[in-house]
Structure 1
Amino acid sequence: METLATSGFAPDLLQGKVALVAGASSGINLAIARRLAAAGARVAMLSRSAERIEAAGALVAAEGQEVLARAADVRDFDAVAAVAAEAAQRFGPLDIVVSGAAGNFHAPAAHLSANGFKTVIDIDLIGNFNVLRASFEHLRKPGASLFSITAPGAEVPGLFQVHANAAKAGINMTVRCLAMEWGPAGVRVNALSPGPIANTPGMSKLAASPEREQALKARLPLRRYGDFDDITNAALFLASDLSRYVTGTVLDCDGGMRLGDASADALSPPARG
C-alpha cells in the first residue's frame, strides 16, 4: 500500500485515544486504521478473514503503534462484541469507532436473487448496526466519536446497485437516529461518504478499463479520483476533537460526485436557435 502523507495534522492529534476499526483488512478502512495509528491512537482492527486481518495488523504495528487484530464477521453480533470488549480491556474505553465492513457487486435488479440482496443488507446495514451497538457499552462517555462508511449511492440512485444503495441509505438514517439518542451521553455519530478512491477494490470493479476510468473522471467536478490521503484526512477530522460539535452528519468526500454529471457535454450551454 502507498505511503500516507501526514502533513497538515499534528502527529499526536489522537495521542492516548483508542480506536476500533471494522472491515480493516484492506482498502479505505485499512488506510483509516493506519492514519489513526499515525496520529497516536491505539487501534483494534477486525475483519472476517483471520489471515488478512493479521497481515493488516502487522502492517500497522510495524509503523510503531499498539494494535489488536481479530477475525470477526460483522453479521455476528456476539463476535463483534467480544472484540470490542477485548479492545476496551486491553487499551481502555473506546474513543473512536469506525464501521466500514461492506460487500458489493453489480447486478441488474431483475436478475438479483433474494439471497444476494439479503447478503449485502446483512453485511452493510445490519453489520453496521452491530458494530456501533456492540461498541456502546465500551465507549468513553462523554467524548467518543463513531462514524460509518457510507456512499453517494445512499442518496443518488444508480443502475445495478439497488442492494448496496438500499443498505447505504439505511446506514445514513442509522447514524442520524443514533446521533439523537446517544448525543446526551456525549457520543457523536456521523458517516463518511467516499466517492471514487483510487487503488481500491471497488474502483477496480467500477472502472475495469482505462476508457471507463476516463469516462468516470470526466463526470466529476474535480476531474480526478480521490486518494487514500483525501479520505483519511476526512476520517481524522471526524475522529478527533476538530469535529467535536459535529454529529448526525454525512461528510461527503467524493470530488463532487453527489452533485451530478459535470462532464463537458453536461455543462455546455444549449445552442441558441
Structure 2
Amino acid sequence: MVESPFKPNILKGKVALITGGGSGIGFEISTQFGNHGASVAVMGRRRQVLDDAVAVLRSKGIQAIGLEGDVRKQEDAARALETTVKHFGKLDILVNGAAGNFLISPEDLSPNGFRTVMEIDSIGTYTMCHEALKYLKATAGIGPSTGGLILNISATLHYTAAWYQIHVSAAKAAVDSITRSLALEWGTDYNIRVNGIAPGPIGGTPGLRKLVPDEVLAKRREQMPLYRVGERWDIAMAALYLASDAGKYVNGHTMIVDGGLWLSRPRHISKEDVKALSRVVEKKSRLSEHQASMEHQTATDHKVGEIAMLEHFGNLYQEEGPRNVLQLAPQLHTFRLQPMQPNLQEDSLQGSGLQLW
C-alpha cells in the first residue's frame, strides 16, 4: 500500500458517518478517515460485517462504532445519525456509500428489481442527506476548517451507456443530480459542501468480483488507459482530499477516479497499421492534389486562350467587318459571338465553320 500523501491529522476532531462503511470502498474510506484523525461511524445492514469492521478499525487506534440500518428506511437513517451524534458529540461528514448492483438485461429486469436499486442508491442517498441536515448545520460555521460535508459515491455508467446496467445508471444519474442540487442550495444557505466520487473498477471489492469476473477482467485490461484496475486506496485518497481543507472550495463536483476508463474505446487497429495506412492515404492524397492541380491548370489555360481569341475576333469584327473576319474561320471550331455584334447574321456564317451562339 502506498503511503498517504496527506498529513496524519488533517481530519483531526472530525466525525464522519459512512454508509456501506463496513466493506469494500466504504471500509477503506472509514479506515483512511480514521488514520487521519477522524472518529467514524459505519452503517450497514449486516451486523457481523459491521462488528468485524469496527474491530479492525479499533485495532488501528481509530474511534469507531457500528450502526445497523437500512438507508431506504427513514427511521433507520434518523436513528443512525442520532446515535452518531450522541456518541461523538457532533457530525461533520456524511459519506453515502451504500449501493446495490447486479448484471441484468432490461428485458429480464423486473420493475421491482429496478425500484430496489433506485431506492438503495438514490432514495437512500437523499434520505440520509435529509436526516443529516440538522446535524451538519450545527457544525457549518464560516471558515476554512468548518462547514459540513456530504460525499456521494457515484459511478460513470450513465455518462454514455453501459450494458446490463440500466438500473444502476439511472440510480447514479439521480445521485449526481442530488449532489449538484444540494451543493447549490445547502452550500448557499448552510455552508455545507456536497460533492461526489465516481470510481472506476476497483480491485478487491465485492462489486468488481460480482460484476467483472477475473476471466473478463483479464481481457479488458488492454482497453484500460492505465492498463490496471484501481485500488480502494485511490478512492479513499480522493475522499480525503474533498473532506480536508485542501478541498474547501470544491462544491457540486463529482470527481471521476477511474484512470480515464470511461473515456476509452476498444482499439480496432494497431499503431503500426495506423502508420502504414497514414502513409498510403498521404500518398494518394498528394497524387490526387497533383492531378487536380494539372487539370485545373489545363482548364484555365484553355479558358484564357478562348477568351483571348474571342476578344481578338471581336476587335477584328469591329475594325474589318464580318466578311474579313470570316476569312479566318477555318482556324476556329467554334466562335462565340458576343451580343455587341448585332449586325452579324446567321446567313453570313454559312460555310464558314463558325457557329453562332
In which range does the TM-score fall when normalised by the shorter chain?
Answer: over 0.9
**Residue pair 1:54, 1:70 contacting (<8 A) in 2 also:** no
CA distances 1:174-230 after superposition (whole Å, capped 9, x unpaired):
0000001100211000000000111111111232133x1122222211111111221
Match of 1:21, SS? Answer: strand
Match of 1:84 among 72, 81, 86: 81
Paired position in structure 2 for 1:30: 27
Paired position in structure 2 for 1:148: 152
Match of 2:177, SS? Answer: helix
Taking only the aligned residue pairs, the percentage that are identical comes to 36
Match of 2:268 among 243, 265, 269: 265
TM-score normalised by the chain length of structure 1: 0.94
Paired position in structure 1 for 2:193: 188
Measure how far apart 1:21 and its partner are: 0.3
Structure with bigger helix share is 2
Match of 2:44 among 37, 47, 58: 47
**Residue pair 2:43, 2:66 contacting (<8 A) in 1 also:** yes
Match of 2:134 among 137, 141, 145: 137
**Residue pair 1:152, 1:257 contacting (<8 A) in 2 also:** no
TM-score normalised by the chain length of structure 2: 0.72
**Shift in CA distance, 259/267, structure 1 to aligned 2, threshold 3 Å:** farther
Question: Aligned partners of 1:90, 1:267: CA distance in 2, in Å?
Answer: 59
Matches within 5 A, 1:91-102: 91-102=88-99
Question: Aligned partners of 2:82, 2:71: CA distance in 1, in Å?
Answer: 15
* Structure 2: gaps spanning 5 or more residues: 142-146, 282-357
- Over aligned residue pairs, what C-alpha RMSD do you find? 1.5
Structure 1 stretches of at least 4 aligned residues deviating more than 4 Å after TM superposition: none
**Shift in CA distance, 84/5, structure 1 to aligned 2, threshold 3 Å:** farther
Match of 2:201, SS? Answer: coil
Tell me, yes or no, if structure 1 residue 240 matches structure 2 residue 244. yes
Structure 1 residue identity aligned to 2:170: A
Match of 2:198, SS? Answer: strand
Question: Aligned partners of 1:209, 1:227: CA distance in 2, in Å?
Answer: 15
Answer with 190-199 or 223-232: which moved more.
223-232
Structure 2 residue identity aligned to 1:258: W
Give the greater-gyration-radius structure (CA). 2
**Shift in CA distance, 156/41, structure 1 to aligned 2, threshold 3 Å:** same
Tell me, yes or no, if structure 1 residue 157 matches structure 2 residue 157. no
**Residue pair 2:183, 2:194 contacting (<8 A) in 1 also:** yes
| Higher relative contact order (Cα pairs below 8 Å, separated by 6+ residues) | 1
Match of 2:180 among 176, 182, 185: 176
| Equivalent pairs, count | 268
**Residue pair 1:145, 1:240 contacting (<8 A) in 2 also:** no
**Residue pair 2:102, 2:211 contacting (<8 A) in 1 also:** no
